[in-house]
Amino acid sequence: MSIDNIKEMKNEGMYFGSHGYSHNWLSNMSNEELIGEIRNSKNFLKQISSNNNPIMCYPHGDFNENVVSELKKNGFVAGLTIDVGDARLDKNHAFFIPRYDTNDFPITQNISTNNMNENI
C-alpha cells in the first residue's frame, strides 16, 4: 500500500494507528531500541495523518510497563491488547484495551459461491 493509498483511505474516514515500526516484540527491545521504535512509528503516523492522539495496537500483543511508559512519554493515548473482550474506555485502562479480532466471531452462515450465483 502506498502513502497515497493510505492518505486516500484516511480522507475517507479510516483511522490509522500504530502497530510498531518494525513489527517486533516490544518488550524484548533494549530501552534505546524501544525509544527508536516508538519514535519511528510516531513519525510515520505523522506522515500519513494529522491525528495528535495516536493509539498503539501492540505487535504480537506484546507489551510491559516499560513499553506503556515510553508510549505515554511519546504522546500515545491508548494501547490495544490481543485480549478478547469489550473495550473499557477509561483513563485507568487506556493502555490495556481488549478487542475483538475478526477471527473471534463465529460464522453464522455458510454461503458458497455457487449458491450466491444461483440466487442472482
Cβ contacts of 81-85, under 8 Å, gap ≥ 24: 82/58
Domain boundary assignment for the chain: 3-118
Select the more confidently predicted residue: 24 or 90.
24
- How high does pLDDT run on average in the chain? 83
Answer yes or no: CATH 3.40.50.1820 is held by domain 3-118: no
Q: Which residue has the higher pLDDT, 11 or 35?
A: 35
| pLDDT over threshold 70, residue 106 | no
Predicted TM-score of the model (pTM): 0.75
Q: What is the pLDDT of residues 16-49, one digit of tens each?
A: 888 888 989 999 999 999 999 999 999 998 888 7
